[in-house]
Amino acid sequence: MESKRIPLKGIVRNTSTQLSEDGEMIDVINLRNKYGKLQPIKDAEKVYQSQYPIVYIHKSLDYENWISYDSNTGNLYWEAKKENDILVPVNKVVYLKDSIFEIRSIGNILIILSENDLSYSLFTDNTYNIIGDINQKLSAYATTENSGDYSVYINSGLKGTFKKSYGEDGTLGDDTPVNQTVHKMLSEIREEGLLTNPVLLTFTFKLYDGSYLIKSQPILLMGECGKRSIIANVFIDPSGSWYHNFYISGYNIKLHIDKILNVEELKDIVSSVDIFISEIQLYDNFDKYSIGKYFTTVTEAGRNDVYETVFPFDDLKERIETSSNFYKVDSIDIEDLNEDIDKTLDLKKALEDLTVLPSLEESQFSNIVSAKGSYIYNDKIHIWGSEEVFPSGYTPNDFNIKQQVYNYNQVFPKTRLKAYILTYIKTDIGDITVLSKSENFISYGFNPYLSYPDSRAYKMEIAFETESGTVYKNTYDLKPHDFLNIAFFVYRTLQPLDFLDSQEDPFQYPETSDKRIKNNSKIKVSSINNPFVFPSEQTYTVGSGDILGMASVTAALSQGQFGQFPLYVFTTEGIWALQVGTGEVVYTTANPVSRDVCNNPDSITPIDNAVIFTTEKGVNIISGSSVKSLSDDLDGETINISNESSVYFIQNLTEAIASIGLQSSFKNELFKDYIRTARLAYNYNEGEIYAINTTKSYYYCYSIANKEWSKRSDAIKGIIESYPNLYLQNDDNEIFKVNSENGNLKQWMFISRPVKLTGIQHKRIIRSFLRGLYNSTNSSKIGFSIFGSFDGESFELVNSVQGIAKNQRDISLGRVLRPYTYFIFAAYASSGTESEISAIDVMFEQVKRTLVI
């Protein structure tokens, strides 16, 4: 007689019956291998039953709110809140939106992703409020108002030829700078709060975190005198004496902002409309004027001579083109914009020293309208598969100078019935065109500074039809700005744009191309703690395939390289790792790690020091730069002993399975088919990975410690992750806290693969023991059976015991009369049976049999 102890392992399908190890299982259901013993799991703690499926838990130190979604109506609900560790119903509608598929949060802001939309809701004052469209157009403009001329009279009292260069006796020379008296006058004008120099002005939304969204084009403002705002004259009388005059013109800036209709929706995110200007110097201490070079005669010869020069010289256009430092000169509280605003800027304080004022350092245009997925990491939202809508651009009326004198040029206003701007943009998928238009507006001419809020734009076509029906059209080449994210054009004369040649063709709006562009291989990263702003420099291209998902890991890739690649990006080309940068650089490089392609983005799940995901081959884990399969054991055919058409069908065992209610946990489905649409989840308390297909009535469990697979018998319809807790939701919207098992002991079963004991010889079992401790509560029962087979396929019952075990150690079975080559051991119990199963001990004898031919 021989004896053998058979350890109890997990489910294994990837070897043949002849090669399998004794102790491997066909199925293990509702048992956990812990401390070397199989123990039945308990029902998880039921924490709530919601009206609709819970899709997100929004929590901070001060609150924990449960969000549900009714996909039939599109209503997103604040379902419940936690008070004193108890969930209390709220049932308030947060938002109405079809096809919501993902919710994230940063602070008290919900980020809601739907099929064609990216929306936000702010939790404040115990209420969720949908945030208004911060990308909406701000209807505003600025004009200048002249405030009179200032002059300084300087009488030299000298005689001589004007063209002569004087010496160092205080007289005028070829490179003499402007007299300090003029500098003093310029300072006095600024002290009055008046500008002499041209400025670029822009309107912005200031957000709650201090960042800015640009809401207007850079508007080139010039006083009525424009570039003739500083003029030097030299007068020479017949006696040869001369005197010197400087004329300086100052101006104010006037603003108009239309009221914002949805201030209440914006006020928690947008704190104010801030106005910034960038001043372009007409003259500075480095400018020189030369009598011989720059002064020209403006009177007739032979009379009193007047020589004139205008500051600046030839480089004003270049100064305007390179101007990029904007400083805040005014701020209007968002709640004041419940009505129109008309005001003249008070610049007295600002003009003391613009450079000490807050500058416009982080400013963005936000064009993202939807995304395929998102991930929160380092307090930034990362989105992929984003869809951007190229804005129509600024309208013809936005470029309307709206003043009758501009840069020493008289403008005659006229009504233009129709006008459009067609802008051409280069993109990765080819050129696209966008159209903006205005109708029935009074035009004073187009500003000489044109721009589009994307540096990829390269051409702008402007056309309009006057009241008389005359059509004009011009085209302007744009160039990218060296410092701002715009493409722009500055007219050489700095006068309102000229439209000289009328068109014979009738006016009509041109067709445009699709304004949407999809960024399937790009990640866009938001500003820190600000999900509204995605700086252009924080866009990262990962390979050339489509991004499927991402997850972070904090373990080092190799010794001494902690955090080198803390973020994995899963694409249709494989897995990439992003290296964290320093300072303002979020990531420095994207390097390929593996060619494994995730087949289900919903499966990508971070766990302790690794990330798990599925491919067509099964469940995988990536840690550092190494990818390993976790599900090789399940890579094979399923043996379904309850399927009557299968050669493995066992009637008695099928009846036992049905008696404890586990029949729905047995299917013929291959594991790789099961996980194709399954989600993965992680139980931090038990170190277990769950593969859950919400269309099935069972799910798989992998123990990281034991590296073994088993099954659980519940039908799960939803997974709710809220670190460190994991919640599962069923069809009735009952929610269970998986890492808190405090309910009844669940029914359980294991079925071994065919056991060979010593090989493929015939054996007769003398005695067998299911080692462990057992205690049935109430009417719960436990069973232990042995099935025998000669071919490893067709099995028959050879011994069985079933009953109620009261504080019993071991369950034993006696002698099996017939010898068999293979044996299946099966044990099962109804719910409520306390069990600790350690092993199966078998005493047997080998039997020689004579084959009769």
Task: List pLDDT tens digits, range 466-515.
Answer: 888 889 999 999 999 988 889 999 999 999 998 877 888 889 999 987 67
Residue type for position 590: A
Is 345 strand, coil or helix? Answer: coil
Residue 75: which pLDDT band, with cuts at 50, 70 and 90? very high
> Are the CB atoms for 748 and 826 separated by under 8 Å?
no
Identify residue 242 by its one-letter amino acid code. Answer: W
Residue-averaged pLDDT of the chain: 86
CA-nearest of 348, 394, 472 to 219 is 394
Under 8 Å between Cβ of 614 and 599 = yes
Residue 304: the pLDDT is 55
Give the pLDDT of residue 501: 79
Per the model's pLDDT, the better-predicted residue between 362 and 265 turns out to be 265
Quote the pTM value: 0.83
What is the three-class DSSP state of 356?
helix
pLDDT of 137 reads 84
- Identify the residue whose tokens are 């769950």: 690
Sorted by sequence, the CB contacts under 8 Å of residue 773 that are 6+ apart come out as 807, 808, 809, 834, 835, 836
* Whether residue 170 has pLDDT greater than 50: no
Beta pairing class for 296-297 and 230-236:
unpaired
Mean pLDDT along residues 687-714: 96
CA–chain centroid gap for 609, Å, is 23
- Give CA–CA dist 382/98, Å, rounded: 23
Indicate whether 788 pLDDT > 80. Answer: yes
Query: Could you tell me which of 567, 579, 524, 523 has the C-alpha nearest to residue 546?
Result: 523
pLDDT (0 to 100) of residue 297? 46
Using CA atoms, how far apart are residues 481 and 57, in angstroms rounded to an integer?
44
In the numeric block, the tokens 């598929």 are attached to 101
Per-residue pLDDT at 624: 84
* pLDDT score recorded for residue 437: 94
**Residues 211-234: pLDDT tens digits?**
888 889 999 999 888 877 777 666
Could you give the percent of the chain with pLDDT greater than 70? 87
Q: Report whether pLDDT(157) > 60.
A: no
**Cα separation, 350 vs 333, whole angstroms:** 18
**Count of residues making up the chain:** 853
Question: 692, 681 in Cβ contact below 8 A?
Answer: yes
Alpha-carbon distances of 149 from 40, 234, 243, 681, rounded to whole Å: 94, 18, 19, 75
Residue 633 near residue 689 (C-beta atoms within 8 A): no
Q: Which of 159-168, 170-179, 590-599 has the highest mean pLDDT?
A: 590-599
- All residues at 6 or more sequence positions from 20 whose CB lies less than 8 Å from its CB, including other chains: 12, 753, 754
pLDDT at 556 over 90: no
Q: What is residue 681's predicted lDDT score, i.e. its pLDDT? A: 96
Choice between 514 and 446, residue whose per-residue pLDDT is larger: 446
pLDDT mean over 627-633: 96
3-state SS of 682-706 is EECCCCEEEEECCCCCCEEEEECCC
Please state the rounded mean pLDDT for residues 607-623. 94
Mean per-residue pLDDT, 535-560: 77
What's the confidence (pLDDT) of residue 517? 82
Task: Dig out the tokens for 755 from the structure.
Answer: 């056991």
Q: What is the DSSP letter of 584?
A: T
In single-letter form, the type of residue at position 787 comes to F
Distance of CA 454 to the CA centre of its chain: 20
Task: Give residue 237's pLDDT.
Answer: 65
Determine the pLDDT at residue 852.
45
Assign 430 to helix, strand or coil: strand
Position 6 scores a pLDDT of: 96
Using alpha carbons only, what angle is made at residue 659 by residues 806 and 668, rounded to the nearest 5 degrees? Answer: 125
Distance CA 39, CA 540 (A): 48
DSSP 147-186: EEEEEEEEE----S-TTSPP-SSS---TTPPPPHHHHHHH
Q: For residue 650, name the pLDDT band (cuts at 50, 70, 90).
A: confident
- Of 60-69, 583-592, 654-663, 700-709, give the lowest mean pLDDT range: 583-592
Confidence of residue 161 (pLDDT cuts 50, 70, 90): very low
The span from the CA of 632 to the CA of 794, in Å, is: 26
pLDDT tops 70 at residue 164:
no
Whether the pLDDT of residue 120 is over 80: the answer is: yes
| In the chain, % of residues over pLDDT 90 | 58
* Contact assessment for residue 266 and residue 260, using Cβ atoms and an 8 Å cutoff: yes
Instruction: Over range 622-641, report the average pLDDT.
Output: 90
Query: Which residues on neighbouring strands pair with residue 591, listed in sequence order?
Result: 577
Q: Give the pLDDT confidence score for residue 168 in this predicted structure.
A: 36
Mean pLDDT of 656-663: 88
